[in-house]
Amino acid sequence: MSIVDVKRHIHECLSKALSSLGLETNSVRLDPSKMSELGDISSGVALSLAKSAKKPPMELAEAIQSQLKLSEDICSAVTVSKPGFLNFRITTDYLRNQLTKIVSASDNYGISESGKGQRALVEFVSANPTGPLTVGHGRQAVLGDVVARILEWNGYAVEREYYYNDAGRQMRLLGESVRARYLEIVGEKGEFPEGGYEGEYIRDIAQKIYDVKEETLKDETEVTAFRDAAEEKIFADIRSTLDRLGIHFDSFVNEQRFYDEGSIDEVVSLLREKGLVYDKEGAVWLKTTEFGKEDDTVLIKSSGEPTYRLPDTAYHRDKVERGYDLIVDIFGADHKDTYPDVIAAIGALGYKTDQIRVLIHQFVSLLRNGKKVKMSTRKATFVTLDELMEMVGVDVVRYFFIMRNRQSHLNFDIGLAEKESDENPVYYLQYAHARICNILKYAEEMGTKSGGEPDLTLIKKDEELSLIKSLIHFPETVMNALENLEPQTVAGYLQWTATEFHKFYSEHRVVTDDKELTTARLFLVSAVRTVLANGLEILGISQPEKM
């Protein structure tokens, strides 16, 4: 059992009590108590129902209390507090018993099978191969990988997919940029394209082309050879960066495929048949007014170049047809106005879309000495993801990208990330894990091992019980992370648990002269190690045994 089971028991008992009083049961909600001296879990159901029951909240709460029949093995006390809260305290024996379950479950503690038998597709990163991955791409990369890990932890069979545009204007600009630098190398005057890519990596690619082709391409007016060479080199670098970050994909899908297969034209035809596409001023328009927008939207420009919505609609149609139970799209904030049109178009074509979940994340600012570092792929005034990993390490990069809610703007503070102290949140977590490993190793060297059948009645100090209370929230945390697909849920929980551990450790020695007490506390910290290790595993962060 865990806090999930405790809440389920209390919820059932509350519902029965309300029914016996002739009250509706839909208002039952349980929350962590804001005042630990009153209890561990509280409910404001009496406040919600006071008006319909025509009773003061305190009087109603007392009436509900009198009808409650809770298991004495789970709840030791139920109290009423102003202005009408019901407070439930978990029994000490119940808390102690959970330690055995945690240690016994070990690596499987917190795993659920809620997604068992279901297939999920997570599409993320999907950066076009026009330059190295930057700090801006990093947040989405880690967010997508941890979302996939959360799904896997809950039983889903997950596929990770990377979709990229190798057919549009950006790729043409890339080819023109490389060609211009190549011509400079061979001593020719090359006109650099307006809005082209100016990074040093462009010169490096041009030099590599020259090393192989020498001057044989100096009269080549088409950019295909330059674009293809650049795409191959950049994409190889992107995959290398992702591999270093611990991120692997099951499939890579490129936009050109949907042109080659005729899917793009087919989508336009199908939408036209449904009266959702029309021609105007040389362009092809999508009737987004049919989807609730104030204005219609260009689908194909007068130049003949499709806008983002068209190939992405073809791609999403393909994803839906593959039959996944869940499709997760992870986009930056610049997609918030366009993705609803894509989903609406898929629905208009007759496809089911409620299995599609779109996660929007805000942008990242990199701070150095309190000042923002400008980031522009085309101007090359950016810090690459590889450079960031060199500066602060892979674990820190991963953690910093998910330690804030994805809908919040993220300031990545390099100075904080470089610190090896409790100020650095990932160091704080890993140090707690390493400290426990060191305690267990020291105890073994002293002739006392964790395990066996400890006398858990010796676990009774406030700091010990508070620590256990944090541990039993882990399964619920994993379930909440699945519901909202928010990695920060796990990161925040781990910080809480590490804090509870440090509070305990600062007040109580684990290895003492009392062998029985030592054995009991070793059992307690073993459970803490299990939870910290499992949580860090979900986040894709290492669990060091020494630091």
Residue 76 has pLDDT above 60, yes or no: yes
DSSP 326: E
- pLDDT at position 36 is 86
Tokens 């290790």 belong to 533
Residue 286's beta-bridge partner residues? 277, 297
Q: Confirm whether 3-90 and 422-538 share one CATH topology.
A: no
- Give the pLDDT mean for 121-130: 94
DSSP E strands, 175-281? 251-254, 277-280
In the chain, the N- to C-terminal Cα span, in Å, equals: 33
Number of H helices, E strands in the chain: 20, 15
Please tell me the CATH code under which domain 119-162+249-361 is placed. 3.40.50.620
CA distance 98 to 247: 34
**Mean pLDDT score, 1-13:** 90
- In angstroms, the CA 497 to CA 63 distance is 36
- The predicted pLDDT at position 237 comes to 95
Out of 268-272, 275-279, 304-308, which region has the weakest mean confidence (pLDDT)?
304-308
CATH architecture assignment, domain 422-538: Orthogonal Bundle (1.10)
Tokens encoding 98: 């959970």
Residue pair 179/190 in contact (Cβ under 8 Å)? The answer is yes
Count CB-CB contacts under 10 A for residue 175: 23
Least confident of 304-313, 367-376, 421-430: 367-376
State the pLDDT at residue 376: 54
Q: Taking residues 406-423, what's their average pLDDT? A: 93
pLDDT in tens, 192-242: 999 899 888 999 999 999 999 999 998 898 999 999 999 999 999 999 999
The encoded tokens of residue 430 equal 């890993």
pLDDT of residue 452: 63
Across 323-342, average pLDDT: 94
Phi first, then psi, for residue 154 (nearest 5°) are -100, 20
Mean predicted confidence (pLDDT) in 529-534: 98
Report the b/e string of 208-228 with b at 16+ CB within 10 A: ebbeeeeeebbeeeebebbbe
Instruction: Report pLDDT for 52.
Output: 92
What would the mean pLDDT of 157-173 be, rounded to a whole number?
Answer: 89
Q: How much is the pLDDT for 95?
A: 96
pLDDT of 469-514, one tens digit each? 999 999 999 999 999 999 999 999 999 999 999 999 999 999 999 9
Domain ranges of the chain: 3-90, 119-162+249-361, 422-538
Beta bridge partners of 80: 86
Residue 168 has pLDDT above 90, yes or no: no
Quick one: pLDDT band at residue 450, thresholds 50, 70, 90? low
- % pLDDT > 90, the chain: 85
Task: State how far the Cα of 53 lies from the Cα of 47, in Å rounded to an integer.
Answer: 10
Q: Average pLDDT, stretch 67-76?
A: 95
What pLDDT is attached to residue 380? 53
Check residue 380 and report its DSSP letter: T
In the structure encoding, which two tokens stand for residue 233, read together? 């080199």
The class of domain 3-90 in CATH terms is alpha beta
Whether residue 289 contacts residue 295, with contact meaning beta carbons closer than 8 Å, is answered with yes
Predicted pLDDT of residue 379: 53
Phi and psi angles of residue 296, each rounded to the nearest 5 degrees, phi first: -80, 165
pLDDT in tens, 254-274: 999 999 999 999 999 999 999
Average pLDDT, the chain: 93
Q: Which among 289, 284, 358 has a CA at the least distance from the CA of 319?
A: 358
* Predicted local distance difference test score (pLDDT) of residue 2: 79
Instruction: Please list, in sequence order, all residues whose beta carbon lies within 8 angstroms of the beta carbon of residue 502, skipping any fewer than 6 positions away.
Output: 432
